[in-house]
Amino acid sequence: MIELKDIVEAAAKLRGVIHDTPLYPSEVFSRENDQHVFIKPENLQVTGAFKIRGAYNKIARLGAEDRRKGLIASSAGNHAQGVAYASQLLGAASVIVMPKPTPLIKVEATRKYGAQVVLFGDMYDEAYEEARRLEKENGYLFIHPFDDWDVMAGQGTIGLEILNDLPDCDIILVPVGGGGLISGIAVAVKAMNPKVKVIGVEPEGALTLKTSLEKGKVTRLDTVRTIAEGVAVRTAGEMTFEVVKKYVDDIISVSDYDLQESFLLLLEKHKQVAENAGVLSLAALKKLPQKGMKVVSLVSGGNIDVLTISAMINQGLVSRGRIFCFSVELTDKPGELLKITTLLSKCGANIIQLDHNRFKSLDRLTKVQLEATVETNGWDHLDEITKAMKEGGFEIVRVY
């Protein structure tokens, strides 16, 4: 296994190549979760994610002959950019195999760093198999995204930075895919201060390491289903599994709805954009049983396309009760719609859309169905609207 000295050496190699991203306190996440929350913004890192740390450390440690073979990697996006950028800096050619559904922003960014991009398969594991096939066929050197000691050591430099900035922190929350990030961080942190708890966070639809730990061996998931495509990995690493088993204190799971809420809060309150996998650690804050702790949430990356940002904002508004859509059956006579809009106005709800449709009602001759979408201030406001409608004689059904 890697040791603290390997991570310290990696930090020396990375000096001048990456940003030492500073911790900053989050009042909003602290208040919402009854914790003292500090954010480690690796979404502001070179290439937009933490992956450059491990990729650069690995490639920098290769000999000139190995680099001349050409490098190949498989990635859902961030490791791809890390390998491509590091290869460019160190004078090596690179080929990156990415799953076909990878967001276009990640594909184009990888190409801009000089890599040849091959799109293959519907998920990471299929891209991985194709990369290993091309490695054998062309004599390339494969740079693994997580199951590699040098890669883990590079990612572990984050642990050094966190404890240098906040030596008395209690908990570090780390997004988990294949396990390389949390492995490196856990080794560094436990060597520096064993009292600090290192807790991984996985999406409910990709419980790769959690399942493996429960079964006592690396276990391949039949399927993965999550909006956090950056951690949609069906099989954890053999080496990372051993490190996680030894050093990681717990694995927490969060839902896609939790991710949408956290994404919106980070964007709205801190003016920072993160990718879906990047906010796993923020979504996990509400799952911690301990309160009043100094908690570091690692935001692991920010490479997200504009269309996904739009969808995440809308879904986040719904998840936090800020957008409310309901249907109500009205008597088909003049003035009924006015009653509804008047009630909404008195409640201070901003109408976004109204769909007044008599063909949706079972009684088309005397009834009409109204579907209304309104902007609210949250769940309490939503309850106030529902109560006002009932007192006004209208039984509403929530659509979302």
Which pLDDT score, from 0 to 100, does residue 273 have?
96
Which pLDDT score, from 0 to 100, does residue 59 have?
98
How many angstroms separate the most distant Cα atoms in the chain? 83
DSSP-assigned states of every residue in 95-163: EEEE-TTS-HHHHHHHHHTTPEEEE-SSSHHHHHHHHHHHHHHHT-EE--SSS-HHHHHHHHHHHHHHH
Q: Both ends of the chain: CA-CA distance in Å?
A: 49
Q: For residue 321, give the amino acid letter.
A: G
Q: Which of 40, 51, 197, 210 is catalytic?
A: 51
Which pLDDT score, from 0 to 100, does residue 50 have?
98
How many helices (DSSP H) and strands (DSSP E) are in the chain?
16, 14
Look up the pTM and report it. 0.88
> Domains, the chain, ranges and CATH?
4-46+148-318 (3.40.50.1100), 51-142 (3.40.50.1100), 322-398 (3.30.70.260)
Q: Which of 74, 75, 183, 300 is catalytic?
A: 300
Q: Reply yes or no on whether 253 is catalytic.
A: no
Which pLDDT score, from 0 to 100, does residue 333 have?
86
Show the low-confidence residues of the chain (pLDDT under 50).
Answer: none
Which pLDDT score, from 0 to 100, does residue 252 have?
97
Q: Reply yes or no on whether 136 is catalytic.
A: no
Which pLDDT score, from 0 to 100, does residue 105 have?
80
